[in-house]
Chains A and B, each alone.
Chain A
Amino acid sequence: MTEAISSPGAATLDQQDDKTPVVEFSDVSIAFELKPVLKNISFSVEPGQTLIILGPAGCGKSVLLKLANGLLGPDSGSIRIFGHEITTMPERDLYALRAHIGMVFQESALFDSLDVEDNVAYRLHEEHIPEDEAHTRVVEALKFVELEQAIKKFPSELSGGMRRRVSIARAIISNPDLILYDSPTGGLDPITSTTIIELVMKQRDVSHTTSLLVTHRLQDAFTLATHRYDPEHGMKAIPKDAPGRGIDPGTKFLMLNECHVVFHGTTEELIHSRDPWIREFLD
């Protein structure tokens, strides 16, 4: 395992061996103004895995994602990303590490003063990538989210679903090794939500990127767990006779309630859980 983190301009992170978890939380706690938000949270995410984080509103799901990206620091515990301890990492090194992490924010968080092209190319401009190459990569990322026609528009001219797609394009443009989705379907109508989930699935199945996805919509979570992206037909249910019996083996669940992890496991384990709170939540 290498301890060095490449600079933002560099293309690759000196990856650890294949078995090292991409994300590893150990006993992480955080409180805001003495009110605990997360208490003794421990879990890990293996390379290529998608971890869906479920839980009622206000249980700390978004805080957990911000902790994973070093945007917040925990009060106690350890967080390792790509094998690097980030709780003690200086902010300057964190910026270099974040070059390998894409994040989709709850309300998209697009820069109002920049058009779609500049929003998507933001990271490339920061890395001083030549303008022609940046433009080509922006068009490519926008094609991925099927929004290339909106390249010159400003965020204020886009619908909620379009903003979310631009946000996904911005997160994937640098081919990150980890993507954090913070409620990517929050506040969207069911049809647009399905489009967004299809994009998340496409990224998962085409690039096999490790991801953490926060959602409070069970239907989105189970769609991800039971469907695959097919380049010809789009989103398709996984056949029951396929390995995993109709369930994507790389998709796992983490459930939070009242500051604690109440479940961490596979889709099947979740469905068959006998915990009364989980049953009530799922029903």
Chain B
Amino acid sequence: MALQSPEALLKQWILAVQDYSILCATAISALFTRPRYWADIVTQMDSIGVGSLPIIVLTGFFTGCVLALQSATALTEFGAVSMTGSLVSLSMVKELGPVLTGLMVSGRNAAGMASEIGSMKVTEQLDAMRALGTDPIRKLVAPRLFATVFMLFFLTIIADAFGIAGGALMSVTILGLNASTYLHDSYRGLVHGDIVQGLTKPVFSAFIIATVGCYCGMKTTGGTQGVGRATTQAVVISSVFIIIVDLLVTRAMIGIFGS
């Protein structure tokens, strides 16, 4: 493969940012104008939301379990093992729930979107769609964007709940804590700002997952090999963006709520 000049690379990168921005703007505007493809939205909600439920439940639950065990080791040294519930719930709701859910859904759905749309691109189905009078962004991207934002919000709540439940199981069965105390402590440890922070993050993560997945799919070139490349790119880019945006949202929330 020939080496590209820095100037060509920079141009390519700027062009990609421009194309991505246009895709995002068009997809958002398509959500507020007709025609809307409700059947596709429901199908995507089922695929993204219901389809991701098992991995989200398992990830949330076992993360909660591990968190309880790890934090208990440190808290025992300070004689604060009873604070385990508070620590698990805070960690799950503010950070681990949203980020892990975002990363898991990214691995499953950004890859799925990129490969599905990418296959359509290389087999000229996207051109056929345009030739038949349908805007592919309206038909394919907008429903995925809406469905991901809507479902990731609820998936995060489920992951948080199962994480706290996993922590409870470990605290009661292994650490010997009282279940009622654990749950009460978990609840008491959370404030309004924590919930807002934890539920703001999935909105951004979902936007990244859907738009990056669809963008990589729509820019696919080079046959089946290109589809594989687009799929990998979609997962890598969306995962990195989720973590970067998590940092930015966290900083913004600390600025707003003060903790």
Q: Which of A72-113 contact B (CB under 8 A)?
A: 91, 95-96, 98-99, 101, 103, 105-107, 109-112
Interface string of B17-58 (1 = CB under 8 A from A): 000000000000000000000000000000000000000000
Complex contacts, A69 vs chain B, CB 8 Å? 131
Q: Does B133 contact A (CB under 8 A)?
A: yes
**Contact (Cβ within 8 A) A123 B124:** no
**Contact (Cβ within 8 A) B128 A111:** yes
How far apart are A34's CB and chain B's nearest CB, in angstroms? Answer: 10
- Complex-state Cα separation, A119 to B123, whole angstroms: 15
Interface size on A, residues (CB 8 A): 23
Q: Which of A8, A101, A112, A127 contacts B131 (CB 8 A)?
A: A101
Q: Which of A8, A107, A109, A111 contacts B133 (CB 8 A)?
A: A8
**Contact (Cβ within 8 A) B127 A109:** yes
Q: Which single residue of chain A is at the shortest CB-CB distance from B35?
A: A126
**Contact (Cβ within 8 A) B124 A126:** no
How far apart are A124's CB and chain B's nearest CB, in angstroms? Answer: 10
Q: Does B188 contact A (CB under 8 A)?
A: no
Q: Which of A125-183 contact B (CB under 8 A)?
A: 126-127, 170
Complex contacts, B181 vs chain A, CB 8 Å? none
Q: Does B135 contact A (CB under 8 A)?
A: yes
- Complex-state Cα separation, A69 to B128, whole angstroms: 11
- Complex-state Cα separation, A256 to B256, whole angstroms: 64
Q: Does B251 contact A (CB under 8 A)?
A: no
Q: Which of A95, A99, A122 contacts B135 (CB 8 A)?
A: A95
- Complex-state Cα separation, A123 to B133, whole angstroms: 7
- Complex-state Cα separation, A179 to B177, whole angstroms: 75
Q: Which of A96, A107, A126 contacts B132 (CB 8 A)?
A: A126
**Contact (Cβ within 8 A) A98 B125:** no
Q: Does B134 contact A (CB under 8 A)?
A: yes
Q: Which of A49-88 contact B (CB under 8 A)?
A: 66, 69, 71
Q: Which single residue of chain A is at the shortest CB-CB distance from B126?
A: A109
A residues engaging B (CB < 8 A)? 8, 66, 69, 71, 91, 95-96, 98-99, 101, 103, 105-107, 109-112, 122-123, 126-127, 170
B residues engaging A (CB < 8 A)? 119, 123-125, 127-135
What are 11 A-B contacts with C-beta separation under 8 Å?
Answer: A91-B135, A95-B134, A98-B132, A105-B128, A106-B124, A109-B125, A111-B125, A122-B132, A122-B134, A126-B134, A127-B133
Q: Which 4 A-B pairs have the closest CB atoms?
A: A109-B128, A109-B124, A103-B131, A95-B133
Known: A66-B127, A105-B128. 12 other contacts (CB 8 A): A71-B127, A95-B135, A98-B133, A99-B133, A103-B131, A105-B131, A107-B124, A109-B123, A109-B127, A112-B119, A126-B132, A127-B133
